[in-house]
A and B are shown apart, each in its own frame.
Chain A
Amino acid sequence: MSAVTEQSSQLKIQVKDLHKSFGSNNVLKGIDLDIREGEVVCVIGPSGSGKSTLLRCLNKLEDITSGQVIVDGFDVTDPKVDINEVRRHVGMVFQHFNLFPHMTVAENIMLAPVELKKMDKAQARTRALELLERVGLKDKANARPASLSGGQKQRVAIARALAMAPGIMLFDEATSALDPEMVGEVLQVIKELADSGMTLVLVTHEMGFAREVGDRVIFMADGVVCEQGEPEQLFGNPQQERTRDFLSKVL
């Protein structure tokens, strides 16, 4: 769609001097970020630092105030870009699942492929069952979301986000709304995605998980990337005062 240079072709996401404000509230104050194909990036930071906002700018759920965001070769900031096309390449998983309560589990997953005419109903159903099998919920295909536990709901939400076979997945605190005993089953699914080589951006409060699966950890504070690096380095030997301060509170 938009021009992509040679050397950036292995970059799945490029963010250049991204600013985002809500009215007079400047939430993102110039973010620069490159994410390679297959990279697993964890975003951590205090509440209100702009982690969710950054994530939501990547698939334009928020209007971008200034700067450039290129995702999977599409310039998201170009007004002529077909944003629906871009979003088919980027799956998103929300803290509160946001499953469609008036549909069955299978129908939740089939919605996008069928409505976007990628598959007919039968194919979409086969695909939905495969995805459910992958998250360990094949037997729940005909259940309503309301009858599932939190962990099950989030696993269905992940399956739904995978339905259009996106190259990138965004997770915004996917385990924060879960009871502790259900966190593990969801992290397990995410870990399998990471292992499969998919590009992942995870906003998370699970420091142990970030350390285990992250290729890179980004610490955000006050709308800027304060510090970033490999998990061992960032958690083991943080350079910035603010990072140390934050980690001392959460670890």
Chain B
Amino acid sequence: MKNKQRVARHGRLSRWVAAAAIGLMALVIGAPSAMAQGNEKVDGQTYVIGTDTTFAPFEFRQNGELTGIDMDILQKIADDQGFKVEVRSLGFNAALAALSSNQVDGVIAGMSITDERKEIYDFSEPYFESGVQMAVAKNNDDIKAYEDLNGKTVVAKTGSEGETYAKSIAKKYGFTVKSLDQSATMYESVKAGSAVAVFDDYPVLAYGIAQGNGLKTVTDKVPGGSYGFAVNKGKNTALLAAFNDGLAEMKANGEYQEILDKYLSDPSASTPGNFFDLAAKSFPALMTGLWHTLLVTAISFAIAMVLGLVFGFMKLSGNIVLRGIATTFVNIFRGTPLLLWAFMFYFGLPQLTGWEISVWTAGVLTLSLNAGAYVAEIVRGGIQSVDPGQLEASRSLGLGYGKSMQKVVVPQAFKMMTPSLINQLIISLKDSSLLLAIGFGELLYQGQQIYAANFRVTETLIIVGVIYFIAIMALTKLANYADRRFNK
């Protein structure tokens, strides 16, 4: 998802995509904002500005507040020029679509000024010169220039300017380029030594280093695109003029440089917080993630129990059709990866059927059908493990098959099934982390979001791991307690 935005940022957002998105955005964003049309004076006005969700260091959330270079520059200019801003964090493509449909007055989102975009929007003077830079591990003194890369592997982000540049010089210097999806994982692979260097956007890299990602830059930046503030073509000229005036002023009085230094300064100037600060800061987001993990597991497992009972009994049925249906169900969902079904339900099913499927629906479907197949086998095994003499004794008393199952066989089977069911519950809880692949906001996904902003991958993963461990231990204890309580 993140990567898609990055590609669009550097590539071109073709006109028809924007036009198609307008209709959609009108639905998503709802009521149009207050517009300040053609007013020559911006003083006292309030402007609605769209931006990305996370593109550190330009905009990202810290303790829930949107912050970053874009946000600081915008706020400073607004203060200076006497207008107010209402920022909407929409996501890159959505922000542009909202601008095209006049739902927002302007967009500031680390956006490169391109010829294609200039045809649809009016841009301010560039407020940031981007570019590509190479970085290596902090303790690596062997790689000082491109010449030292001969025979080595470097990483770059799929679809980024860094990748294009690295590939353009790879042959000349004799190195290999490996493409990865996220800045954070690129930095980790350099630190771990699976690649010697990373080519990335200079501001992103500088911010990562400032956050203590353990790298250092060793080359000068190769000039790349310039970022600008955009308004719709021919609209909000006063706002655009005010932005340019304010920017010029900031650059003159040094406030502009102060903001850049704040986010891109050398790590020696700003030491990263310790582990416990990180834990404390990331706690609220991780608790939300844990809550989603527990909720999706609980809902899915409840459904899986129903599916498992139905299909488990069907597997024991004398009717060959019922048995065949149940066996097919079990084989399909045990014989295919969980992740495949997550993609299938979230991406495939909407295309096949035209239904809108939320990430929750897709997540619950995936987990419950997968767990349902395993529970069906547990149920079948549990029932078969009950001495057939029990059913015979009950039937010989004149109780019907259903009553005998309900009163005599199932209670005993359930007792034998309990450890396996607890086991399956825990597997489902852990499997729910796979749903991050479709953007479900569970615990590991939240962890990923956190290290995408602060680049402290290992520490964040340790915290996430500890939370999973504690949650699963607590769940196991609870389940065992319930087992002892009800299955005396």
Inter-subunit contact A84/B400 (CB<8 Å): yes
Among B393, B395, B396, the residue within 8 A (CB) of A100 is B393
Inter-subunit contact B387/A116 (CB<8 Å): no
- The residue in chain A whose Cβ has the minimal distance to the Cβ of B400 is A84
In the complex, A21 Cα to B82 Cα: how many Å? 99
Residues of B within 8 A of A101 (CB): 412
Among A102, A111, A116, A163, the residue within 8 A (CB) of B412 is A102
User: How near does chain A come to B418, taking the closest CB pair, in angstroms?
Assistant: 13
Known contacts: A100-B408, A101-B412, A102-B411. The answer to whether A87 contacts B395 by CB under 8 A is yes
Residues of B within 8 A of A84 (CB): 398-400
Among B387, B392, B397, B403, the residue within 8 A (CB) of A161 is B397
Among A85, A96, A102, A163, the residue within 8 A (CB) of B397 is A163
Q: Which B388-414 residues have a C-beta within 8 angstroms of A?
A: 389-390, 392-400, 403, 407-408, 411-412
Inter-subunit contact A112/B399 (CB<8 Å): yes
Among B398, B407, B411, B412, the residue within 8 A (CB) of A87 is B398
Inter-subunit contact A115/B412 (CB<8 Å): no
Does B144 have its Cβ within 8 Å of any Cβ on chain A? no
How many residues of chain A get a CB closer than 8 Å to chain B's CBs?
A: 26
In the complex, A54 Cα to B426 Cα: how many Å? 49
Q: Which A136-170 residues have a C-beta within 8 angstroms of B?
A: 157, 160-161, 163-164
Inter-subunit contact A164/B398 (CB<8 Å): yes
Most buried by A among B390, B398, B399, B411: B398
Does A4 have its Cβ within 8 Å of any Cβ on chain B? no
In the complex, A100 Cα to B411 Cα: how many Å? 10
Residues of A within 8 A of B394 (CB): 100, 111
Please report the number of residue pairs spanning A and B whose Cβ atoms sit closer than 8 angstroms: 58
Q: Which A55-86 residues have a C-beta within 8 angstroms of B?
A: 59, 61, 84-86
Does B415 have its Cβ within 8 Å of any Cβ on chain A? yes
Residues of A within 8 A of B392 (CB): 61, 94, 98
In the complex, A111 Cα to B390 Cα: how many Å? 13
Residues of B within 8 A of A102 (CB): 411-412, 415
User: How near does chain B come to A182, taking the closest CB pair, in angstroms?
Assistant: 19
Known contacts: A101-B412, A102-B412. The answer to whether A111 contacts B395 by CB under 8 A is no
User: How near does chain A come to B386, taking the closest CB pair, in angstroms?
Assistant: 10
Inter-subunit contact A111/B407 (CB<8 Å): yes
Residues of B within 8 A of A85 (CB): 398
In the complex, A161 Cα to B394 Cα: how many Å? 10
Residues of A within 8 A of B389 (CB): 94, 96, 98
In the complex, A101 Cα to B396 Cα: how many Å? 17
Known contacts: A92-B396, A94-B392. The answer to whether A115 contacts B387 by CB under 8 A is no
Does A88 have its Cβ within 8 Å of any Cβ on chain B? yes
Inter-subunit contact A160/B408 (CB<8 Å): no
Q: Which B298-323 residues have a C-beta within 8 angstroms of A?
A: none
User: How near does chain A come to B321, taking the closest CB pair, in angstroms?
Assistant: 21
Residues of B within 8 A of A90 (CB): 396
Inter-subunit contact B412/A61 (CB<8 Å): no
Residues of B within 8 A of A100 (CB): 390, 393-394, 408, 412
User: How near does chain A come to B389, taking the closest CB pair, in angstroms?
Assistant: 4
In the complex, A93 Cα to B40 Cα: how many Å? 101
> Which 6 pairs across A and B sit closest by C-beta, in order of nearness?
A98-B393, A88-B398, A112-B397, A98-B389, A87-B398, A92-B396
Residues on A facing B (Cβ under 8 Å): 59, 61, 84-88, 90-92, 94, 96, 98-102, 111-112, 115-116, 157, 160-161, 163-164
Task: List 19 A-B pairs, Cβ < 8 Å.
Answer: A59-B396, A84-B398, A84-B399, A86-B398, A87-B397, A90-B396, A92-B393, A98-B389, A98-B393, A100-B390, A100-B408, A102-B415, A111-B399, A111-B408, A112-B397, A112-B398, A115-B399, A115-B407, A160-B397
